[in-house]
Amino acid sequence: MSLLTGKRVLIGLTGGIAAYKVCEVISRLAKDGAEVRAVLTSGAEAFVTPLTVATLCRHPAYTDESFWNSVRGRPLHIELGEWAELIVIAPMTANTLGKLANGLADNLLTNTILASTCPVLVAPAMNTDMWQQMSVRRNWMQLLEDPRFHGVSPGSGRLACDRVGVGRMAESDRIVTHIASLLHSNGVKDLEGRHVLVSAGGTREYFDPVRFIGNPSTGKMGVAVARAAAHRGAKVTLVYGSVTPEVVSDLTGIRGVSVANSEEMEERLLEFLPEADWVVMTAAVADVKPAQKYGQKLPKTKLPEALPLVPVRDIVGQLCQRKQPHQRIIGFAAQTGDIVTPALEKLRQKKLDAIVANPIDVPNSGFASNFNQAVFIDADGNQSSIDSCTKLELAHYLLDWVGRL
């Protein structure tokens, strides 16, 4: 079951060209089992039609003409405000931002916001000069001071006006991911004040400039943990090795540090350890590396028949040795067959606070998949099994569980 299944999400569209991108958000929410309703301002209707939005929602769309309609004898904005578990405003114009920041309501959407108490996710989109106006920046910061409101900051790129700069509405994947996180946490920033250090991806141990020992890790699990923690208010540092490029294409709100091999990963993790409260080691670090590294590419005729290997330093073990009493270090063990026994051995040998055992030899799990399943094991050997789910869901379940350790 998805984090979105059965959840009630109200989408508010305002007048910007990015409204067409929200259609993808609505479609994905509906396909993942959410109940979706939509309100279009008069400006939004100039860019997308209520019929388009209604078709994607599988429910009639509301406009300002609907304002005086009643539901069971009650005003529509009251009904919608009480119905929604989460409200998403995308795109959010400078005009609507100004209204929300100052508690103003002059249409169905803004009245619904004031008549609701659920979390609100806002995704601004506007021209770069508009976004950089002092008054707009002030309204943005003022809005985010309200704990109800959560922001998905605009990205950079070529805008519809041909200006290149900040102002593009966040991509649909980033918005949907944040929606799922807020529905899980109910908008509560329970990790505020914590620093979560996450490792992700694989390492590449080169023996010449083009050949290396590596593994198929894509970094998806580690990035999911980093994003989930950031959505819940944590300060997050993500140290990542070899990853699929699109996985780390947008790390807004996360300090991302790229490394190439196990030595660099060790160096950066030890650097950031003192400021971390939780360390989540999802990275697939190599166990061995070539004993010799050649400075130039070896021709085929000179490749060694046997490649001498040496062990890679135990990064997790070093972190655990340096751990302070308030810190928690959680390891990952990607296994085939019996996943629990080797994970327990790793847990005790390295003196971890907990470990996540996950299979890599079953469908929809492990490397490169968008899904995962796992057994969480604490230092006392207590186990909690998580059935197949998205990696973002698993990340949230893990953060919940670590918080109870």
Could you list the beta-strand ranges (E) of 178-234.
195-200, 205-208, 211-213
Distance in angstroms (rounded) separating the CA atoms of residues 349 and 219: 25
Distance in angstroms (rounded) separating the CA atoms of residues 248 and 269: 18
CA quadruple 348, 352, 354, 356: dihedral positive or negative? negative
List the end-to-end C-alpha distance of the chain, in Å, as a whole number.
25
pTM for this predicted structure:
0.93
Supply the pLDDT for residue 1.
58
SS3 of residue 322 by DSSP: helix
271 and 263 Cβ atoms separated by less than 8 Å: no
200 and 221 Cβ atoms separated by less than 8 Å: yes
Extract the tokens encoding 171.
Answer: 């991509």
Give the bridge partners for 35, in sequence order: 8
Task: Tell me the mean pLDDT per 10 residues along the chain, length 405.
Answer: 89 96 97 97 97 97 92 90 98 98 97 98 96 97 97 90 90 95 96 97 95 94 97 98 91 94 97 98 95 93 92 95 97 95 96 96 90 96 95 97 94
Extract the tokens encoding 355.
Answer: 């470990």
- 118 among known catalytic residues: no
Q: Exposure of 47 by Cβ count < 10 A (0-12 exposed, 13-18 middle, 19+ buried)?
A: middle
β-pairing, 211-213 vs 205-208, is antiparallel
Give the bridge partners for 333, in sequence order: 357
Catalytic one of 23, 161, 320, 389: 161
272 and 237 Cβ atoms separated by less than 8 Å: yes
Length of the chain, please? 405
Q: Distance of CA 47 to CAs 118, 173, 265, Å?
A: 27, 21, 47
Instruction: Say which residues have a Cβ less than 8 Å from residue 265's Cβ, sequence separation at least 6.
Output: 199, 203, 239, 241, 259, 283, 285, 315
Domains of the chain: 8-185 (3.40.50.1950), 195-404 (3.40.50.10300)
Supply the pLDDT for residue 374.
97
Question: In whole angstroms, what separates CA 69 from the centre of its chain?
Answer: 38
Supply the pLDDT for residue 163.
87
β-pairing, 371-378 vs 354-359, is antiparallel
Q: Distance of CA 80 to CAs 38, 70, 111, Å?
A: 10, 11, 10
SS3 of residue 97 by DSSP: helix
Residue 336 DSSP one-character state: S
